[in-house]
Chain A
């Protein structure tokens, strides 16, 4: 709520709340872009190796797979739900791919199994949340244990290695010069989700559900079906990420991608997706992915241990939400004074 200002000037109501240019300048994405540029410059200044094209290309692997997951997760969060099982779906998909590989599956079969596992897991989450109406946070905490648990049952303390040489293309191949297959995939998926969310009626439905599921239902949106599809997409993207990561690492352990659900959620929230649902844009998530990737890579070049980076991610997650709230609270106070 805006406090009513008392002034002697004649009052007028603006046609729009904000002009177009004002909206762009004040948007979350512009702030993220600024942060990204600053981090880029800091990286350039602090390490002479940063600007090398191949180095930058390597840096993209820090966010491509997580980004794939974060895009679909962003849609789930906008609809007012959450999927904490994404990293476990990845682990299970990778494990089943490994299992198929030991039975002589070729590259197309491996990819199909990876994506298929993702779809099935997503469907399980979707059914539990939309059909049975269970809270997604508990359901996906449960499936998070279940899916990774199945990986542990299959693998125990062992690992699958020795994937076919052709399979390495997804995680280690390059389409053109320094542009890796994963980076191209990342861009394509980003465009797909941006179009889906911002240019289709399906996308509008997601916002409607996130803002007011009951109103959406009465407006003729099939809320449960949309939610089911979103969990399906989330599973599919985790499956795709499993194909990429397995191909890049060339091995599968049940502990693969542990903690990625946190990073994917952070990426989405940092990207301006409202954790309570109803707002956010894909462009922001892309920028957030770039920022997190660059920070991780920059710290890596400076030999900062991984766990210190995770402190940074945790702080970022809280600060990103806290700072606008503090500023909002300070702003009216300043006007009054």
Chain B
């Protein structure tokens, strides 16, 4: 029972429930099912991005270009929609996802083939992708009236009472959970981050695994890009500026270790929901949204301090086992 409480996922669930409970004492309307559903819906895009980011961080890398990729893919979809209003939405969604995969592949190739540190690569491509948006759009905005109704309607539509936006997040969660547990590539992400040298000896291509991780992150950013642009019905250069920090924060809060090899789908999802709950609760409890940035900053620092303590304990145990084995 105590062991259960030491799990980051359980702690997070407890904290989120406590947080919602406290707010509910003063503002009961916040805990109505529709309101909580909104929280999940608003957090869907963050969840999708955090899962992509988690895979990258698992392999000891980091992808700071996710928000820029999101904005680029969203702009591509919006511009195609604007220029060719007859194209079906499915094709636009595909275009956004492919653009994202391509952007992720560029990151991945630079890391894999040229062995450039991922933080440098993605800091660079972060500005390059934003710049490309400016070049293709000429710095202009694409506003709601320039998009077709079908394009804007998809994220707001609902299937069996569940909004498509939430549904997209749920599908991504399920696919990622299965892939990371059951597929060889999914296990490889953990192996590469946990111990790259050992991974090589077990026959895993470290560079290629990292490349795949970046492609996954890019692909999910592409999906998120369409969802973001279509939901807010506007596309411009600075969409989701700085959102990559929220994404990294969600992972760190969810117990994903920045040193690689440690993390879980549930953790990343709960980390996102934690940030999402705060974001949605601030206006309810009448705190200026300007507090948001400082709060997420403090939470990141607290979370990384907790992570370090948890990992240190684990490290010692492994060492003792190694000593016994030797």
Contacts and interface: CB of A to CB of B under 8 A. Distances in A.
> What is the size category of the interface that chain A forms with chain B?
35 or more
A135 interface: yes
A220 to B, nearest CB: 25
A243 B114 CA distance: 40
A275 B252 CA distance: 22
Contacts of A106: none
Most buried by B among A128, A147, A149, A315: A149
A209 to B, nearest CB: 18
Contacts of A310: 127, 130-131
B270 interface: no
A152 interface: yes
Contact of B134 (A144, A269, A305): A305
Where chain A touches its partner, the secondary structure class is: helix
B56 to A, nearest CB: 13
Interface in B101-125: 110, 114-117, 119-121, 123-125
Contact of A149 (B114, B117, B293): B293
Given A135-B259, A153-B291, A142 B297 contact: yes
Interface in A140-167: 141-150, 152-153, 156-157
A276 B116 CA distance: 10
Contacts of A325: 114-116
A127 B117 CA distance: 26
B195 interface: no
Contact of B304 (A134, A145, A313): A134
B131 A276 contact: no
A137 B294 contact: no
Most buried by B among A145, A265, A315: A145
B308 interface: yes
Interface stretch (A28-36, A175-183, A316-324): A316-324
A132 interface: yes
A326 interface: yes
A307 B294 contact: no
Contact of B126 (A133, A134, A262): A262
A322 B290 contact: no
A143 B121 CA distance: 22
A149 B128 contact: no
B293 A148 contact: yes
Contacts of B119: 82, 137, 275
B128 A142 contact: no
Interface in B35-56: none
B116 A137 contact: no
B305 interface: yes
Contacts of A139: 301, 304
Nearest to B296: A145
Given A138-B252, A307-B139, A314 B126 contact: yes
Nearest to A154: B290
A4 interface: no
Contact of A308 (B134, B292, B305): B134
Interface string B118-158: 01110111111011101100010000000000000000000
A314 B127 contact: yes
B221 to A, nearest CB: 17
Contact of B123 (A132, A141, A146, A262): A262
Interface in B203-217: none
A288 B195 CA distance: 36
A214 to B, nearest CB: 15
A138 B64 CA distance: 12
Contact of A145 (B114, B124, B249): B249
A150 B117 CA distance: 31
A311 interface: yes
Contacts of B15: none
Contacts of A318: 110, 116, 120-121, 124-125, 128
Contact of B298 (A134, A138, A142): A142
13 contacts: A133-B308, A134-B308, A142-B298, A144-B245, A145-B245, A145-B249, A146-B294, A146-B297, A148-B297, A275-B117, A308-B134, A314-B128, A318-B120
Interface of B: 62, 110, 114-117, 119-121, 123-128, 130-132, 134-135, 139, 237, 245, 248-249, 252, 258-259, 288, 290-298, 300-301, 304-305, 308
Given A135-B304, A149-B291, A262-B123, 7 more contacts: A141-B249, A141-B300, A147-B297, A149-B294, A156-B288, A275-B117, A325-B115
Q: Which 9 A-B pairs have the closest CB atoms?
A: A149-B294, A146-B297, A145-B297, A311-B131, A149-B293, A142-B300, A314-B127, A142-B301, A314-B128
